[in-house]
Amino acid sequence: MSRQRAQRVGEEIKKEVSEIIRLELKDPALEKLTSITGADVSRDLSYARVYVSIYASRDEQGKILKVLEKASGFIRSELGKRIRLRHTPVLLFCLDRSMEYGAHIEGVLKSLDPLNKEGDGREQQGDK
């Protein structure tokens, strides 16, 4: 199976799973900001790793992932109705920490920049 087809199917899965979570699931835990950031599909299209970004504390992130894992059967059945594939892939939900990591890197870079350091005396120079 071509890698290009797997990527196209992954993009379609990402779009449809996002819609299913937003419109079909009625769990109160999913009211937090959750977004599907990507979906990697195996070459034989039997497994799909779905990356989820959750804007919440670490404890709440774990709870939301458990809710998604519990609902994976329902999401998979809905996905099978929306996407015409011979076999609907098994969904594996993974937490995407790229936004968190990006914010951490930005903070490190800001701390290294001498112009952005707080308390370097610039405020005092402007008062004179």
φ and ψ at residue 48, rounded to 5 degrees: -135, 120
122 pLDDT more than 80: no
Determine which of 28-32, 61-65, 69-73 has the lowest per-residue pLDDT on average. 28-32
pLDDT digits (tens, 9 = 90+) for 78-93: 999 999 888 899 999 9
Domains of the chain and CATH, by start? 3-116 (3.30.300.20)
pLDDT digits (tens, 9 = 90+) for 25-53: 888 777 778 889 999 999 888 999 999 99
Instruction: Tell me the pLDDT of the chain averaged across its residues.
Output: 84
Strand spans (E) along 1-126: 33-41, 47-55, 90-95
Name 33's bridge partners.
55
Give the Cα separation of 92 and 6 in Å (integer).
16
Among 104, 20, 6, 4, CA closest to 49: 6
Say what the pTM is.
0.76
> Which residue carries 């405020």 as its tokens?
123
